[in-house]
Structure 1
Amino acid sequence: MDTLLNAVIPIFGLMAAGFAAGRFGVLGAGASQPLNRFVFYCALPALLFRSVASTPLADVLRWDFILVFTLGIVGVAVLSLAASALALKEGIMAALMRAVNATYGNVGYLGIPLAAVAYGERAVVAAGLTVLINAVVIIAPATAAVEIAARRGAGKAHVLHGVVLAVASNPLILAIVLGLVISAWGETLPVPIDTFLSLMADTAGPCALFALGLYVSGRPLTRLYGRLALGAVLKLAAFPALVWALVAWVVPLDPVLAAVAILMAATPIGAGTFVLAERYGIDADETSTAIVVTTALSIPTLGFLLVLLST
């Protein structure tokens, strides 16, 4: 529990600092937008590229672990899309964003430190793999789907050209692809480049969380809490439950990898979803609130899972 609190409290601290800066007008009106653009175009691509490029393909290609986590993402995304269509009667853009929120966890800044302390070095590699899975299985398809939904009504050739151009020019997807090329090549990054990328990547989490606090400070969010129950249940309960069922009955993993997969599935919504929501103008109010709410709720839920998995 100490580890969990040590990871969660700084996350809330960054959000609170951004919130305070927004409320007191320290950075002026609309400061979250340029900060989010910096994260989207500079910091997150550096983080993703360096993470992928520095991971040997032999460690990346743990197909049993990848299969379990991917099946969990797909299963929960389908549940979320069905709930959005049948229960909430939402449009396609809002439904897509809700599905991203239900599956994209804070595996980088909360999950990896938690796994490292709970299970050691071997768990770090597996937890780091979920960062790549999130990028490839959630971010890339979500970007493509949002672009397709945004261009409905245009000719097929125009839609296809627009989607290909948008996906190919997306800095997050480009970073992943280039990172995979470097990883497959087997070469290490030159020290000056690696140091530059490390410095840039280290700003991604703090800036995204600070920008989230800035955004929340200017929004009346209390009206949204009634809509957050579904997302919180899907992210903090349904996702880890589905992954647990998969490792128990479909794709068995050794105990450490199984525990890491379950814990990563149970992490709260990652701040990267807010960057996506703000970038495309899709329910940024609800997404920002959902990150805060699920992060708070994850303290008891992750603590409970740690105890349960250790028995």
Structure 2
Amino acid sequence: MLDILAVIAPIFMLIGLGYLAVRLALFPQDKLAALGLLVVRFALPALILHSLSSRSPAELLNTPYLAAYAAGSLAMLLLGTGWAMLARQQPLPRAALYGLGMSCSNSAFVGYPIVHQLLGPVATLALALTMVVENLLMLPLGIALSEADGSRQERFLRAFGRSLLGLRRNPIILAIVAGVTLALLDLSLPPLLAKPVAMLGTASAPVALFVIGGSLVGLPLRSMLRDVSILASGKLLLHPLLVAGALLLFGPLDPRLAMAGVLTAAMPMLSIFPILGQRHDMQGFCAATLLLATTSSFLTISAAIWLLQHYPFFH
């Protein structure tokens, strides 16, 4: 158990540092957005570009992993949306937010630092493959469902197409495309460029964790505990189970990559979840869910690591 604590504790210590820095007014909360932009637009794309450009084409064209992670996440999206519609009587646009919160992980800000601590360089490959699924399928689909009125198919298709079209300027997607292209052409970054790209990439994890911690200050929990708890449980427990089942079904895979996929699915929901809820006046509910899921994930991620280490499902 101590080795698991050695992996998890530094991650949550950095999250705690960000929380305390903002809570004690040592760092202004309104400046966190700038740090987040640094990670999303520069540090994380640099990390992905540097890693993918040094991979073999066989590693990057990992269809079984892409199919398995997509299948597990889609199943969770449908289950979460269906539960919200049937059990909580939510209309489709609001129900889709429940499903999106249960099926999209904070793979970059929390998932990558933890998986890298545990499994090393394979974490970057898992991050890139997961972000292909999340950015090209899960987020556009979830956003399109949340903007649809449930009665007109063309409106849904327009929303889905608009989400996909918006990715053409996403730095993470551009980094994935550039890295895969370099790898397929058997090219590498020039040494003069590779060094600063690598240095910038190393900043992604600690800065991202600080931002997550600071963002938790002031989030409401209020009287939404029942639905918030169910949504957080679906994300932290059911999503990784569905992805694990899909990885076993679509395998065989490199055991370390499969473990990385399960752990990524076990992370709390993406940090922009409250922003996505603003359209339907659900930002308070989404923020409360993010708070509960992030704080609870210390225990659930530790349990997931212990299970994967003691019961090698993918060997």
- Give the structure-2-normalised TM-score: 0.78
Q: Note the residue ranges of structure 2 that are not aligned, 5 or more in a row.
A: none
CA-CA distance at 1:268 after TM superposition = 6.4
- Partners of 1:32 and 1:236 lie apart in 2 by 25
* 133-142 vs 282-291, greater mean Cα deviation: 282-291
SS at match of 2:30: coil
> CA 1:186 to 1:263, structure 2 compared with 1: closer, same or farther past 3 Å?
closer
Aligned length, in residue pairs: 300
- Partners of 2:29 and 2:208 lie apart in 1 by 17
> CA 1:31 to 1:90, structure 2 compared with 1: closer, same or farther past 3 Å?
farther
- Partners of 2:143 and 2:235 lie apart in 1 by 24
Partner of residue 118, structure 2: 114
CA-CA distance at 1:253 after TM superposition = 1.8
Partner of residue 121, structure 1: none
- Partners of 1:31 and 1:263 lie apart in 2 by 32
- Partners of 1:34 and 1:205 lie apart in 2 by 15
Tell me the amino acid that sits aligned with residue 115 of structure 2.
Answer: G
> CA 1:16 to 1:246, structure 2 compared with 1: closer, same or farther past 3 Å?
closer
Residue 138 (structure 1) aligned to one of 134, 138, 142: 134
Verify: 1:59 aligned to 2:62, yes or no: no
> CA 1:151 to 1:222, structure 2 compared with 1: closer, same or farther past 3 Å?
closer
1:38-77 superposed matches below 5 A: 38-77=38-77
1:107-139: CA deviation from partner (whole Å, max 9, x where unpaired): 4221233235xxxxxxx54x5432122111112
SS at match of 1:274: coil
1:61-106: CA deviation from partner (whole Å, max 9, x where unpaired): 2333443333222222322222233334265367346535434255
Question: What is the root-mean-square deviation of aligned Cα atoms in Å?
Answer: 3.5
- Partners of 1:272 and 1:189 lie apart in 2 by 33
8 Å contact from structure 1 (residues 16, 213) kept in 2: yes
Question: Percent of aligned pairs with the same residue?
Answer: 21
1:55-204 superposed matches below 5 A: 55-88=55-88, 89=90, 92=93, 95-96=96-97, 98-104=99-105, 105=107, 106-116=110-120, 124-125=121-122, 127-145=123-141, 148=144, 162-163=162-163, 165-204=165-204
Residue 300 (structure 1) aligned to one of 296, 299, 303: 303
- Give the structure-1-normalised TM-score: 0.79
1:255-301: CA deviation from partner (whole Å, max 9, x where unpaired): xx346525631456547811565488563442244223223322133
> CA 1:33 to 1:221, structure 2 compared with 1: closer, same or farther past 3 Å?
farther
CA-CA distance at 1:230 after TM superposition = 2.8
Return the structure number with greater relative CO, CA threshold 8 A, min gap 6.
1
8 Å contact from structure 2 (residues 267, 297) kept in 1: no
- Partners of 1:158 and 1:75 lie apart in 2 by 23
